[in-house]
Amino acid sequence: DTEVTQTPKHLVMGMTNKKSLKCEQHMGHRAMYWYKQKAKKPPELMFVYSYEKLSINESVPSRFSPECPNSSLLNLHLHALQPEDSALYLCASSLTPRVSSYEQYFGPGTRLTVT
Amino acid sequence: GENVEQHPSTLSVQEGDSAVIKCTYSDSASNYFPWYKQELGKRPQLIIDIRSNVGEKKDQRIAVTLNKTAKHFSLHITETQPEDSAVYFCAARPPSGGGADGLTFGKGTHLIIQP
């Protein structure tokens, strides 16, 4: 398996709902990332996990809660979102944080709409 | 933090001509510079990258150059084809403190190949 997968592809949720996004890779990568991408904008880094530990949180509101249960899986738990949180949520992974293996590979994303 | 500027925002070239996209970065310690291609509704795909210890890298019709002194890097696409039409993002990776670091992206260039 040589790619990053994400589920669901599309998600519509109300502002009082709780939902989760899921990201999976079976390439043995030990660094995983969440990015947010608004229309016609570049991806913006949200969280970084290195060896299953949260290493970067880019001042993301607490209504977004990441979780890395194991080296293959990354979740993003969503609660009490706002309409402005509607975006494409991209997961990415890289082999390790070391200089020889920086390449980040993106999943197809989850298109989130908050109503 | 790192800041990446990208120009132009839109680039229209005739099929068969060359295209050049330029980026500058602010953190002189950044050490990895990838380029991503994103087609409408799809994930960003890594097309080429360069590390700070290299000045130029080429892969078939695509090349990237890096000038560390001036803190700028460029993407060159030769013999452009219709399938090259997409949004291209440059990115920079600030140095790691031991954990994984995410990428800071430029705003993107919409490349249009005119038949």
Q: What is the pLDDT of residues A34-93, one digit of tens each?
A: 999 999 999 999 999 989 999 877 789 999 999 999 999 999 999 999 999 999 999 999
Picking from B3, B103, B88, the residue whose alpha carbon sits closest to that of residue A34 is B103
Contact B31 A99 (CB under 8 A): yes
How many Å apart are CA A26 and CA A28, to the nearest integer?
6
The two three-digit tokens of residue B106, written as one number: 């430029």
Contact A56 B44 (CB under 8 A): no
Touching check for B115 and chain A: CB below 8 Å?
no
Contact B96 A97 (CB under 8 A): yes
pLDDT on residue B50: 94
Write the residue in B93, B106, B107 that is nearest to A102 by C-beta.
B93
How many Å apart are CA A113 and CA B86, to the nearest integer?
24
pLDDT on residue A99: 58
Pairing mode, strands B4-7 and B19-25? antiparallel
Contact A103 B49 (CB under 8 A): yes
Touching check for B94 and chain A: CB below 8 Å?
no
pLDDT on residue A32: 93
Contacts of B108 in chain A (CB under 8 A): 40-42
